[in-house]
Chain A
Amino acid sequence: MHLLKHLRQLNGLQGLRQAIRQVSSAPTKPSALQYERDPQPLFTDAETQRLLQSMTQLNLDRVYRKRTVPDNSSETKFMTNEQLDSEFQDMVVRAQHMLQMPPIVEIKKDVQRVIAKDPALKDFASTKYVFTDITFGRRQSERKVFVRETDGTLEYANLDTIKRMNQLYFPLEGRQSYIPRMFALEELLSKCLTEHKYEFILDRLLVQYEPHEPEFHNISARVFEHLNESKQFDLLRSTRHFGPMAFFYAWHRCIDDLLYDMIRRDYLHNAVELIALSYKVHQIPVEYEATLTELDKLHPTPSQKALAELRSVFRRPEDQQGIEQEINTAIGKTEQDFAADEISLKFIEQYIASEHSLKKVQLELAVQTLKEVNREKLLLFQGLKKAHGVQAS
């Protein structure tokens, strides 16, 4: 192991002092909603992950949105159909990777672990000595950092020091050595929130803080709470933050606004999943798995849907299937969708009727309007099919 002695003049460095000052002014005031027990096992559960991913959806235009890059050139290529198809598959895989959800773990407590107390070394130096293991390829969480205090105690470094040392030797791109003013000052953060820069705040939060830090929990909770009030859920759809957000609402029993938004936008499938998630989180004895499996048969997963959308360029316009497709695109729904809607509506109504929903009137109204629109669409759909002579299967 390669041990490197690192000397820090804690009192002498101005930048550090500034950082300390900013720490004290950081909005460490805990938000109203906290994870009271470890949310990690529930969050990492395979079924929860699947539900969250499905709710996030996969809009390729949103995932591959225009970003600022140093070189914005583009490359034009010839591609055979096989190459193009594999490229499409690759694109979907990469998109899924870009939607990787940040981990949700409980706040790590700082514990003092003393290795040795050597009173003989007292006042040996006027500064602390920090020893960092900088072996190449070691995980950040496994990296050993020790501190020799001025009074001669040798102990494990606290979390803050470990993070700073890691950043010093293995800098993470975009992470600041000090606390960004946006997170340090309360009024700046609330200004960003009122301007609906949710994605920016959360992106920055991920880079700046580790998931087990209290600031991470506080700020993300604040953002989600504000989002619940402003109801701009669509801003986070198809980003990596949608899953944690839905999980947060489900955990804290405030899914109704999100549910309302989903019904209004005709994402009934997602609404069912959200309700199922909340049942799962709170272990409410309602049978939801049957409905989910039924729906899954009728609905493609987001990645399948995205791939199908990409592959639609191969479609030839003069086919018989083309007319059916055309009808589908004109209405925006297929036969399967109508069937799925029926199942999900039943499930949602059941939820609204139960004691778990808080905004019953609002939700009922939304469901009613949706039902009417759906009925009209169904009529139109059947009429069109008949007119075109497409066999109803």
Chain B
Amino acid sequence: MLPIARGIYGGLVNITRNSRGALHTASAFRCKAETSTADAESPEADGEDNSSSSAPDPKDRSKVIPVETSMRYLKSAAYKQTYGEDFVWTQYRRNHKGMYAPRKTRKTCIRQNRISTGNPCPICRDEYLVLDYRNTELLEQFISPHSGDVLSYSKTGLCQKTHLRLMVAVQQARDSGYLTYDVPFREYDYSEYYGQEQKQKA
């Protein structure tokens, strides 16, 4: 689907060290993720892909990807090859002038259904990562195991819009029981329920 990109990135993988180069292949593998469900990933299948379709705009985000596809993608070999064992945001670095990054990240990466920046945030750059309350595997990557909070955008590098969507998705997932969390302890005053005479007895 992306003949040029695949050619360049294929070379890049060889040049850059191990997994680091692989990150840039995200877009290349993205296309595979769809086909991989239909048939096994083989070089022949890729070749057919290349000849049949003209190169689509890699920055186009007008197509809506259903959550189920995203959930399948997170379990696929293509995802594994792109991100390895890391979270989707671990290998992402913000570009900024000077020593310290600006306090807030950019407002949005996608404007008018197109990526409007050269370094889109970890969720925006891979269109097969869909934020939804059912996609727990993705949401868990953005939750701190120690505090149980959603990680800050200063750590994950998400753009403001995506971060808001993430917060919404996490709260919805918790509300509907997809994600568990530690419920605050409720202390009972027995006398409220059993009446005074029971309290004296106990």
Interface residues of A (CB under 8 A from B): 40, 44, 46, 67-72, 97-98, 100, 102-103, 105, 139-141, 172-174, 176, 180-182, 185, 188-189, 191-192, 197, 200-201, 203-204, 206-207, 211-212
Contacts and interface: CB of A to CB of B under 8 A. Distances in A.
B189 interface: yes
A72 B146 contact: yes
B100 interface: no
B192 interface: yes
B186 interface: yes
Instruction: List 7 tightest A-B contacts by C-beta distance, closest first.
Output: A68-B148, A182-B177, A203-B183, A181-B176, A103-B193, A174-B184, A192-B177
Nearest to A211: B193
A46 B188 contact: no
B190 interface: yes
B187 to A, nearest CB: 7
Given A46-B202, A102-B188, A206-B186, A189 B194 contact: no
B174 to A, nearest CB: 9
Nearest to B181: A68
A184 to B, nearest CB: 9
B98 interface: no
10 contacts: A68-B146, A68-B182, A72-B146, A102-B188, A103-B194, A139-B192, A141-B192, A181-B172, A182-B177, A206-B183
A103 B147 CA distance: 30
Nearest to A182: B177
A104 to B, nearest CB: 9
Contact of B175 (A102, A181, A203): A181
Nearest to A178: B175
Given A44-B194, A103-B193, A182-B177, 14 more contacts: A44-B201, A69-B146, A70-B147, A105-B194, A174-B184, A181-B172, A181-B176, A181-B177, A182-B176, A188-B176, A200-B183, A201-B177, A203-B183, A211-B193
Contacts of B184: 173-174, 207
A177 B189 CA distance: 22
Contacts of B148: 68-69
B56 interface: no
Contacts of B201: 44, 46
A100 B202 contact: no
Interface residues of B, number: 27
Given A72-B147, A207-B183, A103 B176 contact: no
A100 B187 contact: yes
Interface of B: 144-149, 172, 175-177, 180-190, 192-194, 198, 201-202
Given A40-B194, A102-B188, A139-B192, A200 B180 contact: yes
B186 A185 contact: no
B147 to A, nearest CB: 5
Contacts of A71: 147
Contacts of B147: 68-72
B202 A44 contact: yes
B180 A174 contact: no
A203 B174 CA distance: 13
A135 B147 CA distance: 35
Contacts of B175: 176, 180-182
A98 B185 contact: yes
Nearest to B183: A203
Nearest to B199: A44
Contact of A204 (B183, B190, B192): B183
Contact of B186 (A172, A191, A200): A172
Contacts of A97: 187
A46 B133 CA distance: 45
A203 B180 CA distance: 11
A175 B147 CA distance: 19
Given A68-B147, A173-B184, A207-B183, A44 B177 contact: no
Contacts of A141: 192-193
Given A72-B147, A172-B186, A105 B181 contact: no
A117 B70 CA distance: 60
A141 B202 CA distance: 20
Contacts of B189: 139
Contacts of B177: 180-182, 188-189, 191-192, 197, 200-201
